[in-house]
Amino acid sequence: MKENPYQEDREEMRELIRQYENLKSGLSHSFIDEEAFEKIIGFYEEKEELTKALEAAETAIEQYPYSSSLLIRKADLLLDLRRYRAALDILDRASLFGDNDINLYILKTDAYLALDEQENAVGILEEALDKFEGEERIDLLFELADVYDDYEEFEKVFDCLRMVLEQDPNNEEALYKICFWTDFTGRNEESIRLHQQIIDDFPYNELAWFNLAAAYQGLKLYEKAIDAYKYAIAIEEKFDYAYRNMGDAYIRLRKYKLAIEALEKVTELSKPEVVIYEAIGHCYDRLKNFAEARFYYRKASHLNQEDSKLFYKIACTYYNEGQWESCIKQLDHAIRLHRPQPEYNLLMGECKMELGLFREAVQYFSQVVRVRPRNVAGWEALIRCLYTAEFTEEALEQVNAALEITNGKPIFLYYKAAILLGIGKSKEAVLQLEHAMEQSPKLLKKFIELNPASLQNQMVVDVVAKFKRNRSI
């Protein structure tokens, strides 16, 4: 056994370099075999002395002019030096002495891609596919997939990966990649057939089960997706991505408790992530467990303190509990991070209204209207606030503006009727109410919400009753 093989390798390399230098200078005619030249070229490559490596390759080829492997090494160096046409010429010469080296085709592909000649690159690889089998053919298919990816022929990327899996169903790289490309290209049905075949032959392939589940999920077949994810987890109990996707599927089915269980498993198996904590918070939100929702939104915000949306979601939990002051504090954080966001200003206005701070509320609602003038929610909140604060003249002015900008949305006809009724213009109010009910009878509740006392007005009651009679005839 060698005591210091590394030292011996260094000594051997030093001796080879000495012989090579002597050969170049003509001091001796010592024999250097082909394998030794390969080592010398590699030595200079490792030191990133590409010019010297190329010189060594040329010297080697003078000694062994029919060596395709040395010609291929020279072509590789020319590619590194960006001499693409010269590399192609050398590779053509190498192919005359043997075309059974896969590197010949890989390097030609690289050269054509560098010259932006995609068709030639594809042609070379397709030609090579007919010459090679086994692992080498799989390598070529991956290479071809990368070419198609670079030139945005994404359907063909999927085709290449499918061919890899048809040849090698347990190829992990292909299984990982085809999951992404199935989602990207939407070829879920094909993916289902492919992975069902793989599972028939290899039932304990957890990646195949995962990909099958993901394809079902892509078709919104969430129950089938969940069943497949469960198989993947049964095979590999620490498969965090399966739990993650299963959690999403449960959310889509509105099975929030099961979603929480799956997503909490993700937190046990992988490092903390904003998206997971936020998703758990969302589930608790839907279950109306606002304290727990807040807890997870806060965990998410600690990981990303620049995400204003998380502070907004915390604010919403306080709003749903009627904790207006706490809601405002969270909205202050959100607005400092992202001031123009209409949703934040809208919720802030609602809080100010609840606290009776109508002038401040009007400012926030006005900001929403400025940013999104065609958005119904902003106008609705602004008009409702002005009317509730008894700024009726301004409310009437704003409702007319809203009708003009939103092309006469029926809700504002109802609001105008309510405001006119509130300021004593009953006849005009009734005409507006009739017009509104002709357009959208379902929105009558908005009129009543804004002016509950309207139901005590006989003219209003008569209009509603008449409309209902006419509808029943």
HSE-up (13 A, CA, CB side) for residue 52: 14
The pLDDT value given to residue 1: 39
For residue 420, what are the domain limits? 409-473
pLDDT-based confidence at 472, cuts 50/70/90? low
Does residue 290 lie in a domain region? no
Using the predicted structure, report yes or no on whether residue 295 has a pLDDT greater than 90.
Answer: yes
Q: What is the mean pLDDT of the chain?
A: 90
Q: What is the pLDDT of residues 151-170, one digit of tens each?
A: 899 999 999 999 999 999 99
Report the domain count for the chain.
1
Distance CA 109, CA 102 (A): 11
Range with the poorest average pLDDT among 75-84, 96-105, 218-227, 315-324: 96-105
* pLDDT tens digits along 118-146: 888 888 898 888 888 899 999 999 999 99
Cα angle 452, 450, 414 (rounded to 5 degrees) comes to 110
User: Has residue 70 got a pLDDT over 70?
Assistant: yes
Q: What is the pLDDT of residue 230?
A: 98
Is pLDDT at 471 greater than 70 in this prediction? no
Q: Which amino acid is at 440?
A: S
pLDDT digits (tens, 9 = 90+) for 232-273: 999 999 999 999 999 999 999 999 999 999 999 999 999 999
User: Would the pLDDT of 88 be above 90?
Assistant: no
Number of residues that make up the chain: 473
Considering the domain boundaries, does residue 248 fall inside one?
A: no
97 falls within a domain? no
Confirm whether 37 is domain-assigned: no
**pLDDT tens per residue, range 385-411:** 999 999 999 999 999 999 999 998 999
**Residue 2 scores a pLDDT above 50:** no
CB 175 within 8 A of CB 142: no
Q: How far apart are CA 94 and CA 419, in angstroms?
A: 89
Residue 104 pLDDT level (bands cut at 50, 70, 90): confident
Q: Is the pLDDT of residue 3 over 60?
A: no
Nearest to 140 by CA among 185, 83, 101: 101
> Of 52-56, 84-88, 158-162, 299-303, where does mean pLDDT reach its minimum?
52-56
| Residue 450 included in any domain | yes
Residue 194 covered by a domain: no
> Is 435 a domain residue?
yes
Q: Above pLDDT 70, what percent of the chain?
A: 96
In a domain, 285, yes or no: no
